[in-house]
Structure 1
Amino acid sequence: MSAFDDSHDPKRISWVESANGHPLFPIQNLPFGVFSTDRQEADKRIGVAIGESILDLKSLAKSALLDEHWRLALSLPALNAWFGHGLGDARALRLRLSELLSDPQAKAKVEEHLVPVTEATMHLPAHIGDYTDFYVGIHHATNVGKQFRPENPLLPNYKYVPIGYHGRASSVRVSGTPVVRPMGQRKAPDADAPEYGPSRRLDYELELGIFIGKGNALGEPIPIGEAAGHIAGYCLLNDWSARDLQAWEYQPLGPFLAKNFLTSISPWVVTPQALAPFMRPMPPRPEGDPAPLAYLADPAERGALGIRLETVLVTQQMRDRSLPPYVLSEGEAASAMYWSAAQIVTHHASNGCNLQPGDLIGTGTLSTDDPRGLGSLLEISQGGKAPITLPSGETRSFLEDGDELTLSARCEAPGAVPIGFGWVSGRVEGLGG
């Protein structure tokens, strides 16, 4: 089945006027999310972003405009069941929605199912049963490794194994959730014993989230040639990290309290179909690097994500003085990832682990080889040795109370209409707010 159809036509416009030329959600995007209009759990329903509106799929599914086979999954308050329908239904629904939103004759029947974004509250897109965070950003891994092992920043397994660890699903939250500074044990290098208190080295991590679509049975691996078909979509992900807690606790089993207090994701899930015009070949591996083992050898010609990422910071003082956000980093995911999304999925299931619809996977911090594209303050400030100076005159090595971080992403390619992911943001609060 071709990755391209009429829904990708750059000449296609919508009768939803705000969608035409929209920087994030033109008709060529159509990302999925879960929203409500009265902030009540019982009111949550699935929608698709189109310009400055949301198409209410629960409402639309009650009409005769959608295939009956889709109606139950689209009427539920989370995307898990729809993700489980798989790639074929996902493509068919996208094409149908694109037709309805571009056909002027359908306007009278569809317009009543539109909700202004200003009247909507966004929620987590799915019930996240499991969350796994990977470490496939090779420049991030190298930069962090140099702070501890200058001569050998990457451990011997890095270029053979997509490294990952299991995170905490219960603390994944949608954009806008306050970031309460975590408590934990921390130990200064020159101290004899640790102390307990609030993190003093609170950081962010710029990542992409991958939602699993159709799952696999326990004991049945996912072949690399089929892995892309198990991906339902992508979002932005910020894996907030307490670096001082992490430095003390991570040996020998890895992150724990330093990361499980909050993970923030953007509310809209951008589908693989929407990203098709922006996929690129994976960057060639440096000379001397090992080839992927056979089970990870991806036959796809275009497995790299052509997504441009940006991180901005606003402090309380900057807000008080009406100063614009400060750009911390700008970079592209395609050049940051050593392993592709398909390789991540295949490796995760290679031992027979069963992935389920709505499971969330983080790529790990995505930094480029350019200093302008670093994905964490740990790298930007060189572990606190090189604080940055903001337009307000303030300096930052790590996040202070009142700081607000916003991650955003956008895709552009010749001959394609640009699309966006929206954003994921969070403001740091001290203990007790």
Structure 2
Amino acid sequence: MSEQSPLELAEGDPFGPHNLPYGVFSTPDRPADRRVGVRIGDHVLDAGAAAHALGSPYAALLAKPSLNPLLAAGRTAWRDVRRALTAWVTVPAHRPVVEPLLHPLSDVELHLPYEVADYVDFYASEHHATNVGQIFRPDGAALTPNWKHLPIGYHGRSGTIVVSGTEVPRPQGQRKAPTDPAPVFGPSVKLDIEAEVGFVVGTPSELGSRVGLNGFDDHVFGLFLLNDWSARDIQAWEYVPLGPFLGKSFATSVSAWVTPLEALAAARVSPPARDFPLLPYLDDSAEEVPGGFDLRITVSINGTVVAEPPFASMYWTAAQQLAHMTVNGASLRTGDVYGSGTVSGPERDQRGSLLELTWNGTEPLELPTGKRAFLEDGDEVTLTAWAPGAHGVRVGLGEVRGRITPPR
């Protein structure tokens, strides 16, 4: 009996031909040779080698050690390459060429799939912002006056974006509790997670121009899971008046896989109803394609599920964030990454940070590995997610995993 082909997947496999996320990988026999890969089931296809063997006009784009050339090629190229890849993994006549170019995921090393240009992080969940406001301003308004008029964000540090699986040393810095007479220096004692969704820009824009809401699909290549690690004690002492800095910049973990927007067409949903009229550049009420995405995220610590945040509940959409990010004329560059901000839902088990889940440490989580107010050294955090696809098939998003190590 002949061995089953890796292309013969179980029905409903979340990484079937309807998905085809992109990544960059290397193999043990060629560790320095990074190649663009496409995930199919529990294998990765050497996309550049397949394109060359099958005579694709896009072979040069796929034969690079990074996704950036493909990202920069624009939406027409993205569509054409995806159609070709779909045919390569589904048409039986291509199997003699494609099957030898498939590598088991367990045998490859995955790398950061793109060269990061700039990094911006937003604050787009009303539930998260309300919880944080209630924690830190219990006697005042939970939301700041500007929150429902614009997507609040800050510029992060692109050089410390790391791929899933990279260990995260506990950051050190200044911290000062409200009752302390003076700040002290040392390791963060309130190390936290932020379950987010990231977006990567493909097509750049010119300095001085603006990207409207309808330009989102032309400029953004795809999305992925993102964990924006946060040192809450360092952040609390430093952030007034200019915002997050060392409490955020030490590490941001991203998935090794980027899911193209086209694979998520069935997951597009309308955002929650808005409470205030929006200025025209943010008003998406007449947009033909809904701006939200129905992504179901799971957060686990040391293998125990602690939260399931729903991305569909996000007040501000990725298209609105992109429009706001460029409304002042700021240019986009290929490889720009922006994060959604912490994803939290209305229920306690839908909160995307330990700050909320433990109410700033006052209500610790009960885990098999012990109580947790915030992360301890050795803790491993994993984010996974899926989205509804056509005909009821799930679209899997690549996981984000990171383990906390002692400070260096």
Q: Do both share a fold (TM > 0.5)?
A: yes
Residue 95 of structure 1, CA deviation: 1.3
Partner of 1:181: 170
Is 1:78 aligned to residue 66 of structure 2? yes
Is 15-24 or 213-222 further displaced after alignment? 15-24
- The alignment partner of 1:143 has SS state of helix
Is 1:290 aligned to residue 279 of structure 2? no
Partner of 2:371: 395
Equivalent residues in 2 for 1:207-356, closer than 5 Å:
207-285=196-274, 289-298=275-284, 299-314=287-302, 325-335=303-313, 337-356=314-333
Asked if the contact 1:15/1:104 (under 8 Å) is kept, the reply is no
C-alpha separation in 1, matches of 2:204 and 2:31: 26
Q: Could you tell me which of 5, 30, 35 is aligned with 1:45?
A: 35
**Residues 44-82 of structure 1: per-residue CA shift (max 9 Å, x gap):** 11010001111101212322432x2x2222111111110
C-alpha separation in 2, matches of 1:54 and 1:281: 33
Q: Which amino acid aligns with 2:70?
A: W
- The alignment partner of 1:34 has SS state of strand
Residue 331 of structure 1, CA deviation: 2.5
C-alpha separation in 1, matches of 2:256 and 2:169: 20
Q: Which amino acid aligns with 2:53?
A: S
Residue 39 of structure 1, CA deviation: 8.5
Is 1:421 aligned to residue 407 of structure 2? no
Partner of 1:30: 20
C-alpha separation in 1, matches of 2:352 and 2:240: 23
Partner of 1:318: none
Asked if the contact 1:18/1:52 (under 8 Å) is kept, the reply is no
Q: Which amino acid aligns with 1:294?
A: P
Asked if the contact 1:16/1:101 (under 8 Å) is kept, the reply is no
What TM-score, normalized by structure 1, do the two folds share?
0.90
Residue 367 of structure 1, CA deviation: 0.3
Residue 240 of structure 1, CA deviation: 0.4
- The alignment partner of 1:43 has SS state of strand
Residue 361 of structure 1, CA deviation: 0.4
C-alpha separation in 1, matches of 2:133 and 2:405: 30
Partner of 1:54: 44
Asked if the contact 1:45/1:78 (under 8 Å) is kept, the reply is yes
Asked if the contact 2:301/2:381 (under 8 Å) is kept, the reply is yes
What TM-score, normalized by structure 2, do the two folds share?
0.95
Residue 386 of structure 1, CA deviation: 0.8
Q: Could you tell me which of 9, 34, 42 is aligned with 1:19?
A: 9
- The alignment partner of 2:73 has SS state of coil
- The alignment partner of 1:233 has SS state of strand
- The alignment partner of 1:140 has SS state of helix
| Unmatched tracts of structure 1, length 5 or more | 1-13, 315-324
Residue 23 of structure 1, CA deviation: 3.9
Structure-2 change in CA distance of 1:354 and 1:41 (3 Å)? farther
Structure-2 change in CA distance of 1:63 and 1:45 (3 Å)? same
Equivalent residues in 2 for 1:57-136, closer than 5 Å:
57-66=47-56, 68=57, 70-136=58-124
C-alpha separation in 2, matches of 1:247 and 1:303: 32
- The alignment partner of 1:190 has SS state of coil
Residue 414 of structure 1, CA deviation: 6.7
C-alpha separation in 1, matches of 2:9 and 2:281: 42
- The alignment partner of 2:98 has SS state of helix
Residue 389 of structure 1, CA deviation: 1.3
Is 34-43 or 124-133 further displaced after alignment? 34-43
Residue 19 of structure 1, CA deviation: 3.2
**Residues 96-134 of structure 1: per-residue CA shift (max 9 Å, x gap):** 111121111111122222122121100001000111111
- The alignment partner of 1:55 has SS state of strand
Residue 15 of structure 1, CA deviation: 5.9
How many aligned residue pairs are there? 402
- The alignment partner of 2:392 has SS state of coil
Identity %: 43
**Residues 302-324 of structure 1: per-residue CA shift (max 9 Å, x gap):** 2211110000011xxxxxxxxxx
- The alignment partner of 2:53 has SS state of coil
Residue 431 of structure 1, CA deviation: 2.0
**Residues 263-283 of structure 1: per-residue CA shift (max 9 Å, x gap):** 000100001010001111222
**Residues 21-45 of structure 1: per-residue CA shift (max 9 Å, x gap):** 3643111100000111138773111
CA RMSD of the aligned region, Å?
Answer: 1.6
Asked if the contact 2:17/2:89 (under 8 Å) is kept, the reply is yes
Q: Which amino acid aligns with 1:85?
A: A
Residue 94 of structure 1, CA deviation: 1.0
